[in-house]
């Protein structure tokens, strides 16, 4: 589960870590992409 992601990151749950990392990366990509808007 996603709430376990931070705890999972500390506890070494690979899938939770991967999901959290991908969400942060997706968020960063969305932020950079917004530069090209009006």
Partner 1 sequence: MVETITPVVYGGRLRWAVALALHVVGATATAALFGAGLGVLGVFLEAPWGRAGMAALAAVAVVYTFGELPRVTAAVPQLRRQVPDWWRGFFSWPIAAALYGAGLGIGFFTFLSHGTLVVVSFAALASGDPLLGAVVVGAFGLTRGLSAARAAHVRSQEDSRRLVDRLAAAPERRRAIANGAASAAVAVLASAQAVRAGDGWASLATAGLAIAFAWAAASKVFDAQAWRRTLAAHGLARSVEGAATFAVPAAEIAVPLLAASGLTRAAGIWALTLLTVLTAEALRAWRRFGPQVPCGCFGGREPVAPPVLLLRNGGLAVVALVVTMREAPQPLLSWPAWPGPGEVLPMALTLAGLGVAGFTAWTAVRWLGQGKRA
CA distances from 10 to 17, 21, 26, 31, 36 (A): 9, 13, 21, 26, 36
Could you give the CA distance from residue 6 to residue 31 in angstroms, rounded to a whole number? 22
Answer for which of 10, 11, 12, 35 binds partner 1 (CB under 8 A) is 35
Q: Does residue number 18 form part of the binding site for partner 1 (CB under 8 A)?
A: yes
In angstroms, what is the C-alpha Rg of the chain?
A: 13
CB of 25 to partner 1, least distance (A): 6
CB of 12 to partner 1, least distance (A): 15
Binding region for partner 1 (CB under 8 A): 1-3, 5-6, 15-16, 18-20, 22-38
């Amino acid at each position: 589960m996603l709430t376990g992601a931070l705890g999972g990151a500390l506890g070494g749950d690979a899938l939770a870590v991967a999901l959290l990392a991908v969400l942060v990366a997706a968020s960063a990509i969305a932020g950079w992409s917004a530069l090209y808007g009006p």
